[in-house]
Amino acid sequence: TPATQDLVAADKVLMQFGGLKALNDVDLHVSRGTIHGLIGPNGSGKSTMMNVLTGIYVPTEGAIAFKGQSIVGRTSARIALAGIARTFQNVQLFGEMTALQNVLVGLHHTYRSNLLDVALHLPRFVREERTASARAYALLKFVGLESLAGEEARNLPYGKQRLLEIARALALNPELLLLDEPAAGLTAPDIKDLVVIIRKIREHGITLVLIEHHMDVVMSVCDIVTVLDFGQKIAEGTPAAVQANPQVIKAYLGG
Ligand code: ADP
Ligand code: MG
């Protein structure tokens, strides 16, 4: 039934860049309501997996279904509208726009106004803008940034920029949120805040895939972890089980 069906079912995914198999025969099944970790040494294919899930790359071979429907070959925009939002390994904000405006960018897809409504400031557009602003504030509040709504994104401390990216991704109202190393470069107190926010996101019924190098974060929030090494899945299981897996330990030490 749809209720128990995997939210994401990626099967035998091959992503080839010239002679390099960045992903080699990878299966990734993500259950609804879980926080699914994706770990592995640098260059093991983690970000590439997020890129094929979001339509940035079309896999060379393999199947990817979201809610039971194939998304292979769909544009990133269509995949986002279908319910998959993400953040990037490197912060990608509009630096000269305020925190609020950055979230509003994520909300624009919800507007129904046509160009004339916008150009003439007709009531529908004015109303929609007001609703969008309220929602953007609510999202900033959700990640603890409401007091910084009017600050230019580039002036925010790095940890706050990463939270702002999460708020913008949530503006898409996704069913699945992909976070690519959200704790990278964060201070210990910022990481604590991030962990609380990740748990809150899941409590709202959003499924997460989390790429993360901080093992303490992975251990404390993930229900299940998939481990990649040189583009191949080498282990999958609970955080405790994969951490104790000799093949995983070898991959990290020998990487
Ligand atoms: P990770 O996120 O696990 O560190 P990536 O998925 O970024 O690893 O990269 C996996 C491998 O694929 C690396 O060897 C990387 O250089 C290669 N790769 C990623 N994207 C491209 C691309 N667009 N063109 C060529 N090689 C790429
Ligand atoms: Mg990466």
Element housing 35 (H / E): strand 35-39
Question: Which ligand 1 atom is nearest residue 51's CA?
Answer: 6
- Residue 148 placed within a domain: yes
**Contact at 8 Å (CB) between 152 and 97?**
yes
Both 76 and 183 in one domain: the answer is: yes
DSSP annotation of 153 reads: G
Both 161 and 182 in one domain: the answer is: no
Both 75 and 201 in one domain: the answer is: yes
Number of domains in the chain: 2
Residue 115, pLDDT above cutoff 80: no
Both 99 and 164 in one domain: the answer is: yes
Q: Which ligand is nearest to the CA of 229?
A: 1
Q: Backbone phi, then psi, for 213, in 5-degree steps?
A: -90, -25
Structure tokens at 255: 């990487």
Q: What would the pLDDT profile of 189-209 be if each residue is shown by its tens digit?
A: 999 999 999 999 999 999 999
Both 247 and 193 in one domain: the answer is: yes
Can you name the residues that pair with 235 across neighbouring β-strands? 227
- Least-confidence region, from 84-93, 128-137, 164-173: 128-137
Q: Backbone phi, then psi, for 139, in 5-degree steps?
A: -70, -40
What pLDDT does residue 236 have?
97
Residue 239, pLDDT above cutoff 60: yes
Structure tokens at 36: 């699914």
Q: How confident is the model at residue 129 (pLDDT cuts 50, 70, 90)?
A: confident
- Residue 90 placed within a domain: no
Give the three-class secondary structure for 219.
Answer: helix
- Of 140, 139, 185, the residue nearest 158 (C-alpha): 185
Q: How confident is the model at residue 244 (pLDDT cuts 50, 70, 90)?
A: very high
- Of 95, 17, 92, the residue nearest 59 (C-alpha): 17
Both 235 and 189 in one domain: the answer is: yes
Q: How confident is the model at residue 4 (pLDDT cuts 50, 70, 90)?
A: low
DSSP annotation of 152 reads: B
What pLDDT does residue 132 have?
84
User: In angstroms, what is the span from residue 47 Cα to ligand 2's centroid?
Assistant: 4
The CATH number for 42's domain is: 3.40.50.300
Give the three-class secondary structure for 207.
Answer: strand
User: Atom 14 in ligand 1: which residue has the minimum CA distance?
Assistant: 43
- The three-point CA angle 59-168-95 to 5° equals 100
Both 188 and 169 in one domain: the answer is: no
C-beta of 17 in contact with ligand 1 (< 6 A):
yes
Question: Which ligand 1 atom is nearest residue 89's CA?
Answer: 2
The last residue of a domain, from among 147, 173, 199: 173
Q: Among 39, 48, 209, 210, which is best to mutate for testing ligand 1, by the most ligand atoms less than 8 A from CB?
A: 48
C-beta of 45 in contact with ligand 1 (< 6 A):
yes
Q: Which ligand is nearest to the CA of 22?
A: 1
How many Å apart are CA 214 and CA 150, to the nearest integer?
31
Range of the domain at 37: 1-83+174-255
How many Å apart are CA 180 and CA 40, to the nearest integer?
12
Q: Record the pTM.
A: 0.92
Structure tokens at 143: 């990640």
The last residue of a domain, from among 151, 173, 195: 173
Give the three-class secondary structure for 190.
Answer: helix
**Contact at 8 Å (CB) between 8 and 65?**
yes
User: In angstroms, what is the span from residue 119 Cα to ligand 2's centroid?
Assistant: 41
Question: Which ligand 1 atom is nearest residue 44's CA?
Answer: 3
Q: What would the pLDDT profile of 6-55 be if each residue is shown by its tens digit?
A: 999 999 999 999 999 999 999 999 999 999 999 999 999 999 999 999 99
Q: How confident is the model at residue 117 (pLDDT cuts 50, 70, 90)?
A: low
C-beta of 47 in contact with ligand 1 (< 6 A):
yes
The last residue of a domain, from among 121, 156, 173: 173
How many Å apart are CA 149 and CA 102, to the nearest integer?
9
- Least-confidence region, from 91-95, 153-157, 223-227: 91-95
Residue 2, pLDDT above cutoff 60: no
Identity of residue 86 = R
What pLDDT does residue 1 have?
47
- Residue 88 placed within a domain: no
Residue 122, pLDDT above cutoff 90: no
Both 217 and 246 in one domain: the answer is: yes
